[in-house]
Amino acid sequence: MAGFQVRHVLDIKAALGEGPLWSQEQDALYWLDQRSQTLNRFDPVSGANRDWHLDARPGSFSLCDGGLLIAANLGFYRFDFAKEVFEFICDAPFDPAIFRFNDGKADRQGRFWVGSILVKFEHHGVPRGSYYCYDAGQITAGITGVQTPNGTGFSPDGTIMYRAESMRRAVLAHDYDPLTATPSNERVIAEMPEGFGIPDGGTVDDEGGLWFAVPFGETGKIARFTPDGRLDLHFDVPVLAPTMVAFGGPDMATLFITSGRIEDLMDRPHSPLGGDIFAVETGFRGIAEAITKV
């Protein structure tokens, strides 16, 4: 499916670019290089990128007042926009020798949901992970038996929680009570066809559409699904391993795409542009992320 002009906006060759999130306060895209343990700030107007090293492996993050709340393998950290420093908040609710945090997203009230995964890659299909909810310093386990948590997101009205199980090539939905932050009624709404790729990091647009980075197919691609799981559109990107997407820009109309140099996991050569960041105008708009209370 053609028609989308994917722009190459940052040549940086990240080992594992992940977690893009637009800050309206900063007019910038924040993103992670998980393997290099860096938080990055990309200014699409100037093209400049800055990075800060974290003494832990970051998985994902949410916006908080004046900064970011980062879920890393050793625990939660706050990054202060003004001071440009990390502050340790609390320990992770698991043994970091066995588990680490991976994908996560705040619900429409700002409660930060983040999934855990087994550290060893060869164990990523084992359902021992969990989704944890961080709310004003309190951490509770909400979903258990998770294999490879990715694609976390919430419907525009906040009543459905979406997530992807990458190793199963499946997209799941839960009914979600925004008053009690309780997910229920888990069901599979979509499965990636054989050879299409696996669902990785994602986001939800203001019409309720589900967007996923889809690596490790015959080509790397971006796909949009309707809320009920029907494949609506897809287009190729110039890397084999796109990792996550996020809407941003002043009108939330630009879809940013991170990528990684992780083709070795599938015994395939690196893409020349692997690890770089891309952008595309899709005709859809995103939703500003809610603020997490630290």
Report in angstroms the alpha-carbon separations of 48 from 44, 110, 128.
7, 29, 40
Q: Is 236 a catalytic residue?
A: no
pLDDT at 120 over 60: yes
**Has residue 1 got a pLDDT over 90?**
no
Phi, psi of 265 (to 5 degrees): -65, -25
In the chain, the domains with their CATH numbers are 7-292 (2.120.10.30)
Instruction: List, for residues 236-289, the tens digit of each pLDDT value.
Output: 999 999 999 999 999 999 999 999 997 666 667 778 999 999 999 999 999 999
In the 8-state DSSP scheme, what is residue 26?
T
Which of 33, 103, 200, 276 is catalytic? The answer is: 200
Categorize the per-residue pLDDT at 33 as very low, low, confident or very high, splitting at 50, 70 and 90.
Answer: very high
| DSSP string covering 199-228 | --SEEEBTTS-EEEEE-SSSS-EEEEE-TT
Segment 108-123 mean pLDDT: 91
The residue type at 129? G
